[in-house]
Structure 1
Amino acid sequence: MVDSTTVTVLLLGDSGCGKTTFLSRLKAPKPLTENIQELEISLLKDHDQPFIYDVRFSKKSFRVEVYDTASPNQHWSSLRPDLVILAYDISDRTTLDSLKGWRSEITRYFQSGSGERIPVMMLGLKRDLRTENDQIIYPQEACRIAQELHCDRYAECSAVTGELIAEAFEDIAKMAAMTTIESGAQSEGGCTII
């Protein structure tokens, strides 16, 4: 890499919502756009954190260090992330409902000062499990909740099928790249859905 800039990303969400599978899929040997029904995903292990991704985006090279956690009692509150991703399972409404608590924790630990703000992205995982039932979470509802939680972006994908995985990671890379410039990655308001 030309530039040694490192962007620290904190990935928060309930246990079992698909965070580790998503990160493991990004490390898979096949291209992100390829369907991986036949590919076994080798899951990353917690003790290997941070998970490192070298990124080249918009003529910038930088390193993304991702910390994955599902427990409020883990060491993540002592980190100084440049970007936070709130993840939930599209097929499990309780994981979406718990994002409000996770968002409060972000404010508590990282946004205590006046005008202090950290870019936040909301990420829907397990898109392949979206089925027609009374618990279904459509993208429009998720984007509305992302706006209520003052998230800067919303994306969703499936690590199993590969659907929208490249686009979701590109959005993460775009936000990470923006944290390396003076204006940062915070949006003027609202939420961008991909």
Structure 2
Amino acid sequence: MADTSEVTILLLGDAEVGKSTFLSRISKGSSHPFHSEKDVITLLKDSSQPFVFDIKFYNRPYRFVFYDTASPETWTLLHPHVVVLCYDISSRLSLINIQRHWAKEVIRVYPEREDLPVLLLGLKRDLRSETDPNGIIYPQEAYRIAQELRCDKYMECSTTTGELVHEVFEDICKTAAMTTRAKGGKSEGGCIAM
């Protein structure tokens, strides 16, 4: 039986973009409906970190250890295998902050980590139809920004409805699992859209 590979995944982004809600949805299962905010808040709290998921990929057991933060004091000491930059699809400011702050912080904190896969994740996909005063963020625009930031992948989902949550979680875990192999987890040929 193969040893379990432990892989660290760091979710970064502004407060309230939906990082903890995303992890709560994963732990509940993508088919479990969230009827109220209480369903989510009572499940996972930041103080419960790290959030650990034991999963088998490629016939090998993995322990995926997720950290979720909006505070530089708590993540700069981590050595993640994958970084996921998260923004709220209904908030243009959160995407602007990915460009102006979070992506630059990853480069500043991990300058020697050219092999570090960085993914861009749009959360709250179900709120896209609600009008942000600064305009709706369509997938094409977010994908273009992911390419500009040299992210390895662009993904989006809705934790409220469960839409694409399973697929996003699987993509993150597959990328993380690939980092344990000699070839690494970086995508070849640029950003991939899920």
Structure 1 pair 13–165 and aligned structure 2 pair: CA distance change class (3 A): same
Matches within 5 A, 1:69-88: 69-72=69-72, 74-88=73-87
- Pairs aligned (count): 188
**Partner Cα separation in structure 2 for residue 62 and residue 180 of structure 1:** 10
Q: Which structure 2 residues correspond to residues 24-173 of structure 1 after superposition, within 5 A? A: 24-28=24-28, 31-32=29-30, 34=31, 36-38=33-35, 40-41=39-40, 42-72=42-72, 74-100=73-99, 101-110=101-110, 112-113=111-112, 116-131=114-129, 133=131, 135-173=135-173
Deviations along 1:157-193, one digit per CA (max 9) or x if unpaired, are: 0111000000100101110110110111101232111
Query: 2:121 is matched by which residue type in structure 1?
Result: L
Question: TM (normalized to structure 2)?
Answer: 0.91
SS at match of 2:95: helix
Counterpart of 2:119, as a letter, is M
CA shift, 1:152, in A, is 0.2
* Cα 1:121–1:47 shift into 2, 3 Å: same
Match of 1:10 in 2: 10
- d(CA) in 2 for partners of 1:85 and 1:103? 10
Q: Tell me by how many angstroms 1:132 deviates.
A: 5.9
What is the alpha-carbon distance in structure 2 between the residues aligned to residue 121 and residue 179 of structure 1? 13
Are the aligned partners of 2:8 and 2:65 in contact in 1 as well (CA < 8 Å)?
yes
- Structure 1: gaps (5+ residues): none
Q: CA deviation at 1:2?
A: 4.4
CA-atom RMSD in angstroms: 1.7
Give the Cα–Cα distance (whole angstroms) in 2 for the partners of residues 153 and 169 of structure 1.
13
**Helix, strand or coil: the match of 2:76?**
helix
SS of residue paired to 1:161? coil
The AA in structure 2 aligned to 1:90 is I
What secondary structure sits across from 2:181 in the alignment?
A: coil
Question: Would you say 1:187 and 2:184 are equivalent positions?
Answer: no
4+ residue runs of structure 1 moved beyond 2 angstroms? 37-43
The percent of aligned pairs where both chains have the same amino acid is 52
Supply the distance in 1 between the matched residues of 2:169 and 2:143 (Cα, whole angstroms). Answer: 17
